[in-house]
Structures are given as C-alpha cells and as structure tokens.
Amino acid sequence: MLIRPVRESDIESLHRNRLCGLTIEETAELVMSATDEEHGDESRFLVAVAQGGGVVGMTTVKRLKHRMCRHRAELGGFVILPVARGTGLARRIVDAASRHAGDWGCSILEVSCRGGTHAEKAYVGLGFQVWGQLPGGFHDHDGLVFDEVRLWMSLPTKTP
C-alpha cells in the first residue's frame, strides 16, 4: 500500500469507490483544487493506493492559518474503504499526515468526527484524545443528528 499526494489520475478511482461521495465532476474539481492549493501551501490531500492502483483511503491535512494556531494542523475527509479497514492503514495514513504537519513545524494534529461512532473509537485507538464535544454539531442528509467530537494528538518535535 502506497500513501502519497493525490494525482489527477486518481479522480476515477476516488469517484468509483465513493470515497468522496461526490459526482465525478465534483471529485475532479476537488482533486484539481487540492493539487493547485498544495503548490507552496501547507496542505496535502493524501491517498492510499492498493497494488492494483485503486484508491482505498484518503485524508487531507492542513496547517491552520491563524498566527496563533500555526503550530496546529487538521485532518479532514478521512475515509478508508471497508475492505482495507483493520489492516493498519489508518495508522499509516495518520503517520504520513503527521510527517507533513511536523515538516511545517506543527506540534498538534487535530480531527473531528461524529460522536458515538466507530470513527471516534478508531481515533482514540490511534492515540487521539477528546478535547471537546458540540451537541448536535453534525446533521446528516438523512436527518440524523450527531454530536461533533474534536480530538487532538501531540506530534513529535523536530530536531534541527
């Protein structure tokens, strides 16, 4: 399994595997926007690619822009296909994102998820700690309401 920045050639696989949950046009726009943003910016759209070339996982990692939050980076859109769950892939993706954040000088990695779900348990299992919860923070398109749970983990400090 290879974890690398997204490429234009990943658009079809991202769409086919429903990793983004978007139309093919929206997926293409997202990938192109991400690749444009990455040039000179502290942002990465990472994908996990299986040996056959199909994308089986993804996340974004972005350094926060506010001057008082530059030591923090946030994961977003973290998805792993069911076939790749339980393989250690989540840890490998978090490790890859952490390396990027560390290279930018970040010491904290953050993520949010729907409370009471497998994702919350998985993040805690990866070493994240809950720091906040917003009741009713997420409203699903099916009318379901979830608390938003915010988690964080400390990143190793880089030695010069």
Q: Give residue limits of the domains in the chain.
A: 2-154
In angstroms, rounded to a whole number, what is the distance separating the alpha carbons of residues 118 and 149? 12
The per-residue pLDDT for 21 is 75
DSSP code at position 115: T
The per-residue pLDDT for 1 is 87
Instruction: Profile the chain (160 residues) by mean pLDDT over runs of 10 residues.
Output: 92 84 85 74 92 91 95 95 92 97 96 95 97 96 94 83
The per-residue pLDDT for 158 is 67
In angstroms, rounded to a whole number, what is the distance separating the alpha carbons of residues 11 and 24? 7
DSSP code at position 133: E
In angstroms, rounded to a whole number, what is the distance separating the alpha carbons of residues 79 and 114? 13
For 12, 24, 40, 140, 145, the CA distances from 61, given in Å and listed in that order, are: 22, 22, 14, 23, 26
The per-residue pLDDT for 157 is 74
The CATH code of domain 2-154 reads 3.40.630.30
